[in-house]
Copies of this chain bind each other. A is one copy, B any other.
Amino acid sequence: MTNTNKTPLILITNDDGDQARGIDVLTQIMAQLGDVIVMAPDGPRSGQSNAITVNQPIRFRLLEKSGNVSRYSCTGTPTDCVKLVLNEFSDRKPDLLVSGINHGSNAAINVIYSGTMGAVLEGCENGITSIGFSIDDHSAQADFDAFKPFILDITRKILELGLPYGTCLNINCPKGDIKGVKVARQCEGHWTEEFEKRVDPAGRNYFWLTGHFQNHEPEATDTDIWALENGYISIVPTLIDLTDYAFMKKLNAINF
A27 interface residue per 8 A CB criterion: no
Interface residues of A in 174-193 (CB under 8 A from B): 180-181, 183, 185-186, 188, 190-193
A236 to chain B: which residues have CB within 8 Å?
242-243
Whether A244 contacts B167 by the Cβ 8 Å rule is yes
Assembly CA distance A34 to B50 (angstroms): 33
Counting chain A residues whose Cβ lies within 8 A of the other chain, the interface size class is 35 or more
Q: When A239-B243, A254-B161 are in contact, do A50 and B49 touch as well, CB less than 8 Å?
A: yes
Q: When A80-B209, A183-B251, A237-B251 are in contact, do A47 and B52 touch as well, CB less than 8 Å?
A: yes
A231 interface residue per 8 A CB criterion: no
Q: When A51-B51, A88-B195 are in contact, do A164 and B205 touch as well, CB less than 8 Å?
A: no
Chain B residue at minimum C-beta to C-beta distance from A115:
B51
A6 interface residue per 8 A CB criterion: no
Whether B239 contacts A244 by the Cβ 8 Å rule is yes
A157 to chain B: which residues have CB within 8 Å?
254, 256
Assembly CA distance A239 to B183 (angstroms): 20
A59 to chain B: which residues have CB within 8 Å?
204-207
Whether A238 contacts B243 by the Cβ 8 Å rule is yes
Q: When A54-B47, A239-B242, A240-B112 are in contact, do A195 and B248 touch as well, CB less than 8 Å?
A: no
A183 to chain B: which residues have CB within 8 Å?
248, 251-252, 256
